[in-house]
Amino acid sequence: MTTTAPAAPTAPMTTDRPEHHVIVLFGATGDLARRKLLPGLFHLAKAGLLPEDYRIVGSAPAQYALSDEEFRRHAEDAVREFGLAEPTGASWQAFEDRLSFGAADPEDPQPLLTAVRAAEQAIGGSPRRLCHLAVPPAAFTSVIGMLGDTGLARDTRVIIEKPFGTDLASARALNETVHAVFDESQVFRIDHFLGKESVDNILALRFANGLFEPVWNREHISHVEIDVPETIGIEGRAAFFEETGTYRDMIVTHLFQVLGIVAMEPPASLSAQPLRDEKAKVFNALEPLDPAAVVRGQYDGYRAEPGVDPNSQTETFIALRAQVDNRRWSGVPFYLRSGKSMAKRRQTVTLHFKKPPRRMFPDDAHDGPGAERGNALVIDFDDPGWISARFLTKEPGPAMRLGAAEMTFRYADSFRRRHGLEGYERLLLDAMLGDQSLFTRSDSIERLWEISGGLLAHPRPVEPYAPGSWGPGSIDGLIAPHHWYLPDDE
C-alpha cells in the first residue's frame, strides 16, 4: 500500500532570500567543490535561492591557482558531470559571470584579497561574506589563521568541513583556533546529513504528528538501527581514508548526528539554540562507547589499494552498539553500521517496536528470527527518501493467520522533485541566512569525541570482510538476539 500526499504546492519554495553575498570557496579545485559545492551553488542560483547579487571567489594554494577563465571552465565541467541541470543558457551565463579566482597561501594571500575586493566592489554597498573551508583537516588551522591575519574573518561567516578533529584533544585545539578568530555565532560546522530532506523530516514526523511521538520511547521501542552501508570503495581517497577510517568519517559525524535527531526531546522551537540544546542533551546522555561492543572491519583488497599501508589497521567498516542513558531511552540499544564496498547503498533508520502478547495467534509465523519485522518504522533518508510502517495483518482466508504488511510514503511520489535541495545546498543556503540550526556546535562535537575515547585508545583489530557483503560475520553477535534488518526498497 502506498500513501499519497496532498497536491504539491506550485509556488516557488518559500524561504527568505539571503542578503548580497561574496562566497569564498577555499579548496575550489578539490573533490568536494567539484562534486557538491559548485553544482549545488548553480542549482541554488537556478532555483532563485541565491542572493539577488552575489559573487563566488574560488581559492586554492598558489600551486593550484587557476585564472578566472579556467575556474569558470572547471565549474562548468563540475556542473555538467555532477549537477542536476545542464550548464547552459542564460542562467548559466549569469552564474559563470559571477565566478572569479584568487589564490591564497598564508605567506601570500594577496591574489585572494584582490579578488574578494573586486567582487565586493562589483556588488557595491556592504555585501555579506561567507567563507567555505572545503580543505583537508590539516589545512584548517592555517586557513583560519590567514582569515584572521588578513582581516577577512571580520563580519564573515565560516563553514568548516568535517571531520572536526580526530579525537577530543584535537577537536578542543581546533575549537580554540577557531574561537581565537571567530565568535561561535559566525561558525557553521557542516555535516551534510543534517541537510538531507528526510533527516530534517524526522523532526516533522515526530513533532508535528500525534501518531508517532507517544510510542517513541523505551516503553514501546525495543531497539533502533541506523544503517548506512555504501557500495563505493575509497574512490582514490587513500590518504584521507588511511588517516580517518569509517568511525571518524561516518559515525562520529553523520550517524551520531542522525541519532541526535532521532533521540532528542521536543525542542521549544526549531530555532538554533533550543534545537542544538536538545541534541547536546542526547550526546551528554550517550554512554562512553565500549570497545567490546564495536566491530571494526576492513574489506579484502583494501591494503592493496594505491596509497594504503600494506599492514593498515584502518577500518573501512564499523558496527557498534550505543546506549542513550536517559528516561526515554534507557535500555534501548542503538545499533549503528556503516562501511565501504558493501552489498548495497542504503541510508536508513529503523525503529523496532516491542512485540505485544499474541497468545490468541497460536500459529504466529513471525516468531523466531525476523520476529521484529512485524512492527517497525523505517525511515530511508537517502534522496529522495521514504518512510514505511511495517506491521502484521490478517492474511485473507478463513483462518486467522498473520502476514506482514506495510504502508509506505515516498517523497518521489508525493512532492515535486524540483522543490528538493541536496544536503549541501540546503546548508549553504542556511549559512547565508545565518541559521545555525542544522550545524554542529563545539560542545556537542567535543562530547562525541569524549565518548569515543576508549574506542580510539583501544581499537580491536580489524576483521576482514568480502567486498559486496554486509561486513564481518561477527556483527550478528553484536546485535543478537535481534537481527540486522534492511528492508528492500522494492
Query: Catalytic site residues?
Result: 254
- 230 in contact with ligand BG6 (CB under 6 A): yes
The footprint of ligand BG6 on residues 308-347 (CB under 6 A) is: none
Q: Nearer to ligand BG6 by C-beta: 249 or 380?
A: 249
CA-to-CA dists, residue 226 to 250, 327, 381, 385, angstroms: 11, 21, 10, 14
- 425 in contact with ligand BG6 (CB under 6 A): no
Can you read off the three cell numbers belonging to residue 192? 551534510
**Comparing C-alpha atoms, which of 261, 268, 299 is closest to residue 283?**
261
Q: Contact at 8 Å (CB) between 68 and 163? A: no
How many residues line the site for ligand BG6 (CB under 6 A)? 2
Q: Nearer to ligand BG6 by C-beta: 200 or 249?
A: 249
The mark string for 186-225 relative to ligand BG6 (x by CB under 6 A, - otherwise) is: ----------------------------------------
The CB-of-230 to ligand BG6 minimum distance in angstroms stands at 5
Give the phi and the psi of residue 102 in degrees, each rounded to 5. Answer: -145, 110
Q: Nearer to ligand BG6 by C-beta: 198 or 437?
A: 198
Q: Nearer to ligand BG6 by C-beta: 254 or 447?
A: 254
Q: Nearer to ligand BG6 by C-beta: 163 or 333?
A: 163
The CB-of-161 to ligand BG6 minimum distance in angstroms stands at 9
Could you say which of 225, 249, 425, 430 contacts ligand BG6 (CB under 6 A)?
249
CB atoms within 10 A of CB 32: 18
Q: Nearer to ligand BG6 by C-beta: 83 or 374?
A: 83
The CB-of-435 to ligand BG6 minimum distance in angstroms stands at 21
> Using CB atoms, what's the residue nearest to ligand BG6?
249
The CB-of-437 to ligand BG6 minimum distance in angstroms stands at 20
Compute the radius of gyration of the chain from its Cα atoms. 24
Q: Nearer to ligand BG6 by C-beta: 27 or 102?
A: 27
AA identity, residue 487: P
Q: How far apart are CA 15 and CA 490, in angstroms?
A: 34
Give the phi and the psi of residue 158 in degrees, each rounded to 5. Answer: -130, 130
The CB-of-259 to ligand BG6 minimum distance in angstroms stands at 16
Can you read off the three cell numbers belonging to residue 344? 548495497
The CB-of-239 to ligand BG6 minimum distance in angstroms stands at 13
Q: How far apart are CA 64 and CA 44, in angstroms?
A: 26
Can you read off the three cell numbers belonging to residue 358? 499474541
- 305 in contact with ligand BG6 (CB under 6 A): no
Q: Contact at 8 Å (CB) between 184 and 442? A: yes
**What is the 3-class SS of 14-52, one letter each residue?**
CCCCCCCEEEEEECCCCHHHHHHHHHHHHHHHHCCCCCC
The CB-of-244 to ligand BG6 minimum distance in angstroms stands at 8
Q: Which residues bind ligand BG6 (CB under 6 A)?
A: 230, 249
